[in-house]
Structure formats: C-alpha cells, structure tokens
Structure 1
C-alpha cells in the first residue's frame, strides 16, 4: 500500500507539472494534421456506425433489454468507456519510449508519465461524454440524476487502465512486443464484455456464461454506464460487483506499481 500512498503524494506535489504536460500531450496529437481534432472523433464515430448497422436497425437486430430504448442509445454507453480505457492503456504502454528524454533525466519523477498520459486521455473522454449526453437529449431519453455517476465509473476505468498500464509500460521497455500483445488483448477484450451484444444470448444457454462474463472487470464499467444513463440505478445497488471490481483493481494497481518501481532503475540504461 506504500506504493499507492507514495504515488498519491507525487501526484499532489507535481499536480501543476502533470496538468501542463497533459495539455501539451493532448495538443501534440494533432500537430501537423490537416483536420486536427476531427480525427479524434472520426474513428470512434465510424465504429459506432458500423456496430449500429450490423447489430441495430439494418443487421442482426439486437433488441436492448431496456424498454423504449433504441439500439444506438444502448450501445453508446458501452463503447464510450471502452474507447477511453483502450486508448489510455495503449498510450500508457508506450509512454516511456515516447518520453525517453525525460526518463533519462535523473531529477525527473518517471512515475508521473503514465499519469500524464491518463489525464490526456481523460480530456478526450470528456468530449465523448458530452456527445453521449447530447445523443440522449436528441433521442429524448429520460433524464436521471444518476447521469453524474458516469464520473465515478470513468474514475474506476481510469484506475484499472493505470494499474495495467504501469505493468505494461515497465515491461515494454525491455520487451518491445508488449505493445502488440496489449493491442491483441484489447481486440479480444471488447468482445469479452457485453458491449455490442446482449448477454442473454449466452446466459440463456449456460448458467456459467454469466459468471464468466462478470469475472471480466470491465463488465462492471459497461453495466455501470448503462445503469447510470438508462435505468437510473446507482453503484451501491451492485454491492458484490463493486467490491469485486475494486479488490481486483487495487491488486492490479499494486502489482503494476511494484513492477514499475523494481524495473525503474534500469529504464535509462535500456532506453
């Protein structure tokens, strides 16, 4: 637990530097690009349209388990946190190589680099949450006070990405294939959580399918986003899943931080 407390102290002390570098990292993504920030939205928008076409009105006609909810309204609260989580994990995994010139500086606290990448991804995620809220207003969905709860679930997803990210970015310095492994795992991961499909297609056939799906920690995030946006349910109405998720996430974060701390003295030698 000392690793977490040390990280929190570092974040508080370097909060201004983290914020400034995060904004610079956000702007750097679009330097030299003709369409600039448009690309930030284009790929996720195309993804939503493809899934909506395949599973929605014109394809397999997946019916959401929410009365009077269009498929796209049910789909977006699952995809928005996934876009955030997958982008954060990918960015954090390669952050030490990207900022190798900072890693080699003795006085720079390398532990904050994954935080900088995470905050940069949070800025992008904020735009997508605004778009999600606007979509719900356009579709005239009921307004719930629980909409504010997506901030809690976004924080939960951020902690999971950070935990895995500390592990993968540290290993990636010595084992460059880690970036490709993370990409492949994320391709599988989007199908291991009921983001595009209704989980009933599996749980109706096997009682173990529900258990397997819920063992995936991201199930909690997807279900939580939909609870917040579509039904008005709160996170304490899923007590078992909440406890499981945070126990899993804290263990991953501790393992990631411990691995990072142990390998950190060798980063500058390899980079």
Structure 2
C-alpha cells in the first residue's frame, strides 16, 4: 500500500469529521442517531429471536444479549463502511476534476468516519461487561487486531465498489443484495456450532465470519487469534488480495472518472 503524505493524513481526518456532520445534518437528534439506530435494530432482533423463535439462552461464557450485541456491533461497523463507501466517488464528483486532489482519500474517509461511533459503542459494551464481571481484559487487548481486520477488508471492497459505481449505478443495488445475504449467512445472531459439521460449514470461513467470531473470542471466549491458524491464513489471503486488486482497479479506471461524471 502506498504511503500517505502527512498533509493528506490531516486532510483525511478533516474530511472524515465533515462526513460525520454531513450525514446527520438537518436531523433533530443529530449524531445521536448513530447510536440509537443500531440499538433499535439489535433490540428488535433480540425480541424476535427470544420471543418469536424461542431461541437464546447462554452462549458459551456469555449471556445471549451480550453475545448478540457484540456480533451486531461488529457487523454494523462493516455495514456502515460498505454501504456508504459505494458512493464515495459519485457523491464527490466536484472533486474528481481537481487534478491534484488525492481521490483515494474519498474512499478512506468512509472507513475513518465510521470508526468513532464503533469505538464508542464497543467501549460502552466493555464497560457494561466489566460491571457484570464478564470477560477478561487481557483478551480484550486483541480487539484492535480484529478492528484492523475489518478495516483492511472493507477498505479493499470500497476501492472496488466505489470505482465500479462511477460506471454503472447498478453496483449499489447489487451490493445491497449481497449485504443482505451476508447478514443472514454470517453468524451474527445464530451460533456457529449449529452448522460447523454440516454442508454449510464453509460459511464459517468467510472473512466476515472471521471478524464476528474474533470479536466474540476476544470479549467472551478468551481465545487468541493465533489459535485459529486456518481461519487466520484464509482471512489474510482473502483480505490482502481484495485490497491489492481493489487498489489496482481503482488506479486503472481513475483517469476515466472525470469523463463519466
């Protein structure tokens, strides 16, 4: 990955701050929606799972509500980046014609602007867990590793989708369908052991399942990532390939952005 000049780093953080403000501009509750929305969604899924499907109960060392929230927060972080990153170039078409503007920053902005809310929500969850006496702080220290995993994976995907969206707006619709499928195919609100030995066990090797499971391993299970060697190797091969190919595709088609937009 090419290095980013210091001036570009400062610009990246300024643009990320502006992106957060713009997202909630004109709403009555402002940026509070960034917390309210995931809490409402998580609450609805919890009610449906517990009272509708009669599922739930303890999952390993965690109560179902803590287990569910941890997976949902990890998923919301990924979903926020991917759903907004698709339009990173299209919605900033006025910057495309500026020859000296580093367009790659527009993709990075969507990743960085999603970080503060995710970190805040995770800190709230860990505080509640600490009050309950759940989990081990020593294993919580590996959460930044899985945070990095999510960042690398989503950044690579955003390079691909944001560039492709310039040429065909169908990418947004296709990505919406894919994200819906991933939500149901990833062990977010269902236990991974239920399909581990079935014909659907391959779903547990997806990079998204690796991240979700990793968050829970760190928070509840006390399992270090190096004890998941197969999943770790598969994840990094997949994530780095997507990042490399995404950046390459972005750079190849970038000269044509201005012509299309």
Q: Same fold (TM over 0.5)?
A: yes
RMSD: 1.7
Q: Structure 2 CA distance, aligned partners of 1:11 and 1:50?
A: 44
Q: Structure 2 CA distance, aligned partners of 1:10 and 1:131?
A: 32
Number of residue equivalences = 261
Q: Which residue of 2 aligns with 1:242?
A: 232
Hey, which bits of structure 1, 4+ residues long, moved more than 4 A?
Answer: none
Q: More displaced, 162-171 or 20-29?
A: 20-29
Q: Which residue of 2 aligns with 1:252?
A: 242
The unaligned stretches of length 5 or more in structure 1 are none
Q: Structure 2 CA distance, aligned partners of 1:177 and 1:168?
A: 10
1:227-252 deviation digits (Å, cap 9, x = unpaired): 10002221111111111101100001
Q: Structure 2 CA distance, aligned partners of 1:234 and 1:13?
A: 37
Change in 2 beyond 3 A, CA 1:202/1:36:
same
The unaligned stretches of length 5 or more in structure 2 are none
Decide which of 149, 156, 166 is 2:159's aligned counterpart: 166
TM alignment of 1:50-199, pairs within 5 A: 50-56=44-50, 59-67=53-61, 69-199=62-192
Q: Structure 2 CA distance, aligned partners of 1:253 and 1:75?
A: 29
SS of residue paired to 1:31:
coil
Alignment TM-score, normalising by the size of structure 2:
0.94
Q: Structure 2 CA distance, aligned partners of 1:39 and 1:82?
A: 17
Asked if structure 2 preserves the Cα contact closer than 8 Å seen for 1:144 and 1:232, the reply is no
Asked if structure 1 preserves the Cα contact closer than 8 Å seen for 2:196 and 2:204, the reply is no
SS of residue paired to 2:254:
helix
Asked if structure 2 preserves the Cα contact closer than 8 Å seen for 1:80 and 1:129, the reply is yes
